[in-house]
Amino acid sequence: MSEQQSFDVVVIGAGPGGYVAAIRAAQLGLKTACVDAALGKNGKPALGGTCLRVGCIPSKALLDSSRQFHNLTHLFSVHGISADNPKIDVGTMIGRKDAIVKQFTGGIAMLFKGSKVTPIYGFAQLQPGNVVKVKQHDGSEVELKATNVILAAGSDSIELPFAKFGNDIVDNVGALDFDKVPKRLGVIGAGVIGLELGSVWKRLGSEVVILEAMPEFLAAADADIAKAAAKEFKKQGLDIRLGAKVSKAEAKKDGVHVTYTGADGKEDALIFDKLLVSVGRRAATKGLLADGTGVKLDPRGMIEVDAHNHTGVDGVWAIGDCVRGPMLAHKASEEGIAVAELIAGLPGHVNLDTVPWVIYTEPEIAWVGKTEKQCKDEGIPYKTGSFPFAAIGRAVAMAEPAGLVKVIAHAETDRILGMHLCGVNVSELVHEGVIAMEFNGAADDLARICFAHPTLSEAVHEAAMAVDKRAIHKGN
């Protein structure tokens, strides 16, 4: 017989959805526990989910290390800076990444302590009647009775049936931990992970070939932005092959043998030292729900929820990657806060229409709101204004002139429908669009605001003016 403890809120999953929900619930005076099954590289429990252990944070650590190296070997010379024979020590780079992961996963344990969230380490399953059964790592079981349960189980990589993960065929976990720069790196899927991790190893010297099934590059982004980014990736030597249907991937002694049919219909074969499979992620709902809970999964295994993340079962909520909407850490966190507030009787809310996207390549890609294609498909009358970083003094002074900002506004009301960016530091600039949209701003509002000079933000200002064909320096 396992012991039973009672809580106001039990959260399953301590990723950016779950841990944030737990802290907010505890702040609001609710007795809260958060259960997580994950172990870190050292075999010990590690809170923080995909984001902190094997996602956002470690990938950005490697993107930054490889960017420094790339700048040293490719950019610094224009500033008159040179270094003899620069080298990258992969062990040191991976060690730095691991230390950052340790600092942040450990930080969540400290935050739990500070806000009086009870952490429970093990695999949790929701039973009927809002009981959560946890199998702890030592094999013992605990039962948690909860007034409210928040399911925040996150997501796992999709594995292709003909490319089982192993030593040389890897997902993000493996590609964040190579012990040396692979001479030839194959990537299946030119999505966010393929582009980010492909960039990391390309900058360090790998020959990278990315095989993408779709005929179009980065279909989720605005076409002008995707085009500008593709041009820069080509210059960097990223070999992106569109319309490529991979049929076989076999790890052999001399490398991973990959067979694919190209856009021209011809079959081709390539050999790589490592193959990264990044073809999307699926909700991690396997084993999460016992029979009879009443919680419904959609055909893709995602938990069905309403606009307020309620599952339809009394006191059961679900947030983050395991429910509809973009699989992004900040979206998961906002849902966590909203649900904790709803449980406490406050008006929690997340606006999925203004969740920003960022791809941390070089140049960075970012957007919020609708693309031009979406406006066309939805029959929304629109106008656009674009402005290139090549005409922005600060970007040129930084020797980072690539890319542009594009603002899409409603043709009649001038209300901003979307902002799309490609360029240096646009991961920060995109929030100018997010804030403007959240305040129902018009392109003219942005156009009439005074922006500091010289800054990259001036590209946002000029793009907003370009909507009305009155950009000063270029564009329109």
Our finding on whether 215 is near ligand NAD (CB under 6 A) is no
Q: Angle, to 10 degrees, between the axis of helix 56-70 and the axis of helix 90-115?
A: 150
What six digits make up the tokens of 406?
A: 């594009």
Q: Which of 109, 111, 213, 230 lies at the binding interface for ligand NAD (CB under 6 A)?
A: 213
Region for residue 319 given its phi and psi (left: phi exceeds 0; alpha: psi -120 to 50; beta: otherwise)? beta
**Comparing C-alpha atoms, which of 410, 469, 402 is closest to residue 442?**
410
User: Taking CB within 5 to 8 Å according to partner kind, which of ligand FAD, ligand NAD, none is near residue 213?
Assistant: ligand NAD
Q: Give residue for tokens 């299946």.
A: 188
**Comparing C-alpha atoms, which of 366, 101, 48 is closest to residue 218?**
366
**Comparing C-alpha atoms, which of 345, 22, 326, 44 is closest to residue 152?**
22
Residue among 74, 137, 349, 453 flagged as catalytic: 453
User: Taking CB within 5 to 8 Å according to partner kind, which of ligand NAD, ligand FAD, none is near residue 154?
Assistant: ligand FAD
Our finding on whether 456 is near ligand NAD (CB under 6 A) is no
User: 275 vs 329, which CB is nearer to ligand FAD?
Assistant: 329
User: 243 vs 315, which CB is nearer to ligand FAD?
Assistant: 315
CB of 313 to ligand FAD, least distance (A): 17
CB of 83 to ligand NAD, least distance (A): 30
Our finding on whether 33 is near ligand NAD (CB under 6 A) is no
Q: Which of 36, 196, 364, 432 lies at the binding interface for ligand NAD (CB under 6 A)?
A: 196
Phi, psi for 27 (deg, rounded to 5)? -55, -35
| Residues of this chain, 316-345, that bind ligand NAD according to CB under 6 A | 326-328
* Sign, CA torsion 203/209/212/216: positive
Stretch that binds ligand NAD, among 23-31, 207-215, 379-387, 410-418 (CB under 6 A): 207-215
Stretch that binds ligand NAD, among 119-127, 182-190, 262-270, 458-466 (CB under 6 A): 182-190
Tell me how far apart the alpha carbons of residues 366 and 222 are, in angstroms, rounded to a whole number: 10
CB of 220 to ligand NAD, least distance (A): 7
What six digits make up the tokens of 253?
A: 């002694």
CB of 193 to ligand FAD, least distance (A): 5
Can you give 409-427 as a three-state secondary structure string?
EECCCCEEEEEEEEECCHH
Contact 366, 445 (CB under 8 A): no
Contact 151, 13 (CB under 8 A): yes
Our finding on whether 212 is near ligand NAD (CB under 6 A) is yes
Sequence-distant (6+) residues with CB within 8 A of 115 are: 22, 23, 26, 27
- Is 453 an active-site residue? yes
User: 132 vs 466, which CB is nearer to ligand FAD?
Assistant: 132
User: 25 vs 275, which CB is nearer to ligand NAD?
Assistant: 275
284: Cα separation from own chain's centroid: 16
User: Taking CB within 5 to 8 Å according to partner kind, which of ligand FAD, ligand NAD, none is near residue 408?
Assistant: none
User: 365 vs 465, which CB is nearer to ligand FAD?
Assistant: 365
User: 172 vs 457, which CB is nearer to ligand FAD?
Assistant: 172
CB of 453 to ligand NAD, least distance (A): 30
Tell me how far apart the alpha carbons of residues 365 and 342 are, in angstroms, rounded to a whole number: 34
Burial class of 219 by CB neighbour count within 10 A (0 to 12, 13 to 18, 19+): middle
Our finding on whether 193 is near ligand NAD (CB under 6 A) is yes
CB of 143 to ligand NAD, least distance (A): 33
Q: Give residue for tokens 């990315």.
A: 210
User: 30 vs 170, which CB is nearer to ligand NAD?
Assistant: 170
**Cα within 13 Å of Cα(386), Cβ side:** 15
What six digits make up the tokens of 278?
A: 């990044």
User: Taking CB within 5 to 8 Å according to partner kind, which of ligand FAD, ligand NAD, none is near residue 15?
Assistant: ligand FAD
Tell me how far apart the alpha carbons of residues 363 and 318 are, in angstroms, rounded to a whole number: 35
Give the residue nearest to ligand NAD (CB): 191
User: 209 vs 283, which CB is nearer to ligand FAD?
Assistant: 283
Which residues bind to ligand FAD, rule: CB under 6 A?
12-18, 35-38, 49-51, 55-56, 59, 123-124, 152-155, 172, 193, 284, 288, 320-321, 327-330, 332, 360
Residue window 235-274: x/- pattern of binding to ligand NAD, with contact defined by CB under 6 A: -----------x----------------------------
Phi, psi for 330 (deg, rounded to 5)? -70, -30
Phi, psi for 316 (deg, rounded to 5)? -115, 125
Tell me how far apart the alpha carbons of residues 395 and 328 are, in angstroms, rounded to a whole number: 28
Task: Please list the active-site residues.
Answer: 453
Residues lying near ligand NAD in the complex (CB under 6 A) are found at: 160, 188-194, 196, 211-214, 246, 278-281, 326-328, 358-360
